[in-house]
């Protein structure tokens, strides 16, 4: 496995000056980012397949062990506060359970039966999008889980950093990012982990855009549930409607913090009319605004 190989280039890493050591690590991070470019086509196909399933009411499911599992949880946990994605439609399947987020659970990643059973317990089906992450692409727990999810008819996506990895073989959509040997051999939280995070950043953000939760580069599906988000909501409404800050604050209040509704109120609709229009367009603000403009 390339991610486990020792690179002669870093033979004397521990003897280098700190500045040289950091420069080498930094270069590795840049390499990881550049390596993602080759996977853009595969990511595109995965996004399009996932959007179709999620429009049928499916869930986004992250599967992983160790660092890869933690990266998945980090990505998924941001979807609700950032894009208003329903919390009940995000599932985390982590080898060793969620306790493994903060401490190692010995042998958990090798438990194939547990990986398969986790898919059964989550009642995974054809409308679900199941993302398996493993730098090596060989983690038994993750491979077994993705195999079971594929057999259940789910949209399965594998993200791995080694070619010909078993994880890639059992998924419907294969995202390979070849990051090669690490500065510290086998420390896949470095280049491999960075690449995985970039892939998930691209994938989940594109999903939210395609699902109508972004308009003109703005997070219009968020709900203003605290002071920071309320201020952000007001700025978004002000930008889209072209009103004063005080007017935007009033529209957000009338909409109970719902940004899309607030925008439509600012364009002259009542809260009830705004809600009805958004429902007719499946929450797509662009389509709703276009109807108002006609």
Q: Determine whether 112 is an active site residue.
A: no
**Which residue's structure tokens are 């529209």?**
251
Report residue 173: phi and psi, to 5°.
Answer: -120, 125
Token digits of residue 175? 């995202």
**Among the listed residues 261, 262, 266, 286, the one whose alpha carbon sits nearest the alpha carbon of residue 276:** 261
CA-angle at 208, arms to 203 and 213, nearest 5°: 165
- The H-assigned helical ranges of the chain are 18-35, 40-54, 66-77, 79-83, 112-121, 140-151, 166-170, 191-210, 227-241, 245-254, 259-266, 271-280, 285-293
Q: Determine whether 109 is an active site residue.
A: yes
Torsion of CA 144, 150, 151, 153, to 10 degrees: 150
| Cα Dmax for the chain | 69
CA-angle at 271, arms to 267 and 277, nearest 5°: 70
Distance CA 188, CA 71 (A): 12
Catalytic residue among 4, 78, 253, 273: 78
Report residue 12: phi and psi, to 5°.
Answer: -110, 30
Catalytic residue annotation: 78, 109
């Amino acid at each position: 496995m390339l991610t486990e190989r020792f690179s002669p280039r870093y033979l004397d890493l521990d003897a280098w000056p700190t500045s040289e050591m950091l420069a080498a690590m930094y270069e590795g991070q840049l390499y990881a980012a550049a390596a993602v470019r080759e996977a853009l086509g595969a990511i595109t196909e995965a996004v399009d397949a996932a959007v179709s399933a999620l429009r049928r009411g499916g869930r986004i499911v992250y599967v992983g062990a160790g660092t890869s599992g933690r990266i998945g949880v980090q990505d998924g946990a941001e979807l609700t506060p950032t894009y208003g994605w329903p919390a009940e439609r995000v599932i985390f399947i982590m080898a060793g359970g969620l306790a493994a987020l903060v401490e190692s659970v010995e042998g958990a990643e090798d438990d194939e039966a547990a990986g398969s059973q986790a898919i059964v317990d989550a009642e995974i089906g054809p409308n679900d999008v199941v993302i398996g992450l493993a730098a090596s692409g060989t983690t038994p727990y993750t491979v077994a889980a993705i195999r079971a999810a594929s057999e259940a008819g789910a949209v399965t996506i594998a993200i791995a950093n080694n070619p010909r990895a078993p994880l890639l073989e059992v998924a419907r959509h294969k995202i390979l990012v070849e990051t090669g040997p690490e500065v510290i051999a086998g420390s896949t939280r470095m280049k491999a982990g960075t690449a995985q995070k970039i892939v998930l950043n691209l994938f989940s953000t594109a999903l939210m855009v395609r699902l109508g939760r972004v308009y003109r580069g703005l997070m219009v599906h968020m709900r203003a549930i605290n002071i920071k988000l309320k201020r952000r909501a007001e700025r978004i409404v002000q930008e889209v409607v072209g009103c004063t800050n005080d007017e935007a604050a009033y529209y957000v209040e009338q909409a109970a913090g719902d940004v899309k509704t607030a925008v439509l109120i600012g364009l002259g609709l009542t809260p009830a009319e705004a809600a009805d229009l958004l429902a007719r367009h499946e929450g797509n603000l662009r389509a709703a605004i276009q109807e108002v403009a006609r």
